[in-house]
Structure 1
Amino acid sequence: MTDKRAPDQDALIDRILHLWRADADTLPSEPRLAELTGASRNSVREALIRLEERGYVHRTQGARTSPNRRLPGVGRRIDEQFDHSLSIRAAGYEPTLEVVSADRMTLAAGTQRYDDLPDGADVLRTTKMWRVDGAPYALAEDLVPVTRVVDLDPQRPVFDLAEAANGIRVAWETMWIDAIALDAARAAILDAEPGTPVIEMTYCGYGADDAIGYWSREVQLTAPAGLRNALIRRVRS
């Protein structure tokens, strides 16, 4: 009897997505997916449920599983964890990451803050800018609590910095979205006009035990094709 050891769910999902790209109309049946991936049918079924929750496929009782064929054109999904450089490259552009500033500091009361970290917390504060084919695109300010004695490379993604600096493997991220007029300080970095309408996104990344791994605040200029922010929602009738 063949030993079908269940692969890691994320790896299985990636494999199913690869099979979808090879067959744009429908996905193979569950038994066929199990055969192609080497996973059990239960593992395949669970992977398809997760893919449906994320908006990749639509499953109907008694029918084949249909992929969401609009996904390739939606741009960057704000309902999924991402790294700007990877997203930019995946959209067919050349990314450039510039660390504008990086410093260790102690958070003080009475200063303008976007986080809810306690006063006196030791943090790594970074400001990073991404360019798309040389043009400014996004600017992020991160606050990462530091509870370990460790050298931190500010070029690393904030998810990795959190795990290195405070040992928290971020499981959840809450995001707030606002439409604002770009302030003079960030406009100067982005080579934009102060008052330019932009989207500001504020994130809090935290672990399964609710411990905070980071706070981040980001603004984006108008995105080129393939990088527009998109949210996929499952509609149940």
Structure 2
Amino acid sequence: MATTDQDAVIDRILALWSGDLETLPSEPRLAELTGASRASVREALVRLEERGYVHRTQGTRTTPNRRLPHVGRRIDEQFDHSLSIRAAGYEPRLEVAASDVRVLLPGDPHRYDDLPDGTRVFRTVKVWSVDGTPYALAEDLVPLVRDVDLDPHRPVFELAEEANGIHVAWETLWVDAVALDAARAELLSTEPGVPVVEMTYCGYGTGDTVGYWSREVQVAAPAGLRNALIRRVRHERGVSGS
């Protein structure tokens, strides 16, 4: 089954989601409800378990993670800020503070990427607001392979496909706590030195070619937009821990 078809099965299962659901229907019933084969349903459940949506135990039915709809925004999944802000019940606004084409120079102390010196990139600086209050700021570097007219308002993964042809398959993300510098503090309408979460991430394709590098900071998030990570807990018999 093609990836897009498998994703469709996952979406159909998620459409059955209910906050009051204690167990999911059996595999045969899910196959009937989604119009998919049992093998496709089984594979979809494996992927949903990996993503923290369900917990499966041998001999019992599949249990949904009922806290998941309330955890906020998942940093282990790609997202568009405007969509996640709206989904949390707020009004988003996107401002492009800067966009330009530049060449990456060696020795630049502000660089956070591992692209080769001399790489020509499309750089954007964007600010998202929640109900009019600045919330997140991102600087994106998209290597330019094609001479195209790019709209800086578009999501970075879409810009990568247009600028360099990379359909990003993975992101590696690093999270740090930093003091906000003066330039970014001004764009976020706050004071320099305020402690913030900084996320630096690299998006790359299946062939390891970089589609973009991004660096993002966020001020204190309102309810429903806190960054969350769902991770599986494995219990090893005979192993103690603290």
Spell out the pairing of 1:23-172 with structure 2 (5 A cutoff).
Answer: 24-112=21-109, 113-172=111-170
CA contact (8 A) 2:19 2:66 kept: no
Runs of 4+ off more than 6 Å: none
TM-score, L = length of structure 2: 0.94
In structure 2, how many angstroms separate the alpha carbons of the residues matched to 1:96 and 1:22?
Answer: 30
DSSP-derived class of the 1:12 partner: helix
Identity of aligned residues (%): 76
Aligned match of 2:205: 207
Aligned match of 2:182: 184
What is the CA-CA distance between 1:20 and the residue it aligns to?
1.9
Per-residue Cα deviation, 1:135-192 (whole angstroms, up to 9, x for no partner): 0000000000010121111100000000000000000100001000000010000001
TM-score, L = length of structure 1: 0.96
DSSP-derived class of the 1:87 partner: helix
In structure 1, how many angstroms separate the alpha carbons of the residues matched to 2:51 and 2:3?
Answer: 21
Per-residue Cα deviation, 1:9-54 (whole angstroms, up to 9, x for no partner): 1111111011122762211110000001110000000000000000
Per-residue Cα deviation, 1:40-75 (whole angstroms, up to 9, x for no partner): 000000000000000000011111111001111110
Per-residue Cα deviation, 1:108-143 (whole angstroms, up to 9, x for no partner): 112121001111111000000000011000000000
C-alpha RMSD of the superposition: 1.5
Per-residue Cα deviation, 1:54-104 (whole angstroms, up to 9, x for no partner): 000001111111100111111000000111111101111111010000001
User: Compared with structure 1, are the counterparts of its residues 41 and 96 closer, same or farther at alpha carbon in structure 2 (3 Å cutoff)?
Assistant: same
User: Compared with structure 1, are the counterparts of its residues 117 and 102 closer, same or farther at alpha carbon in structure 2 (3 Å cutoff)?
Assistant: same
In structure 1, how many angstroms separate the alpha carbons of the residues matched to 2:210 and 2:204?
Answer: 4
DSSP-derived class of the 1:24 partner: coil
CA contact (8 A) 1:6 1:39 kept: no
In structure 2, how many angstroms separate the alpha carbons of the residues matched to 1:191 and 1:123?
Answer: 28
Equivalent AA in structure 1 for residue 176 of structure 2 = D
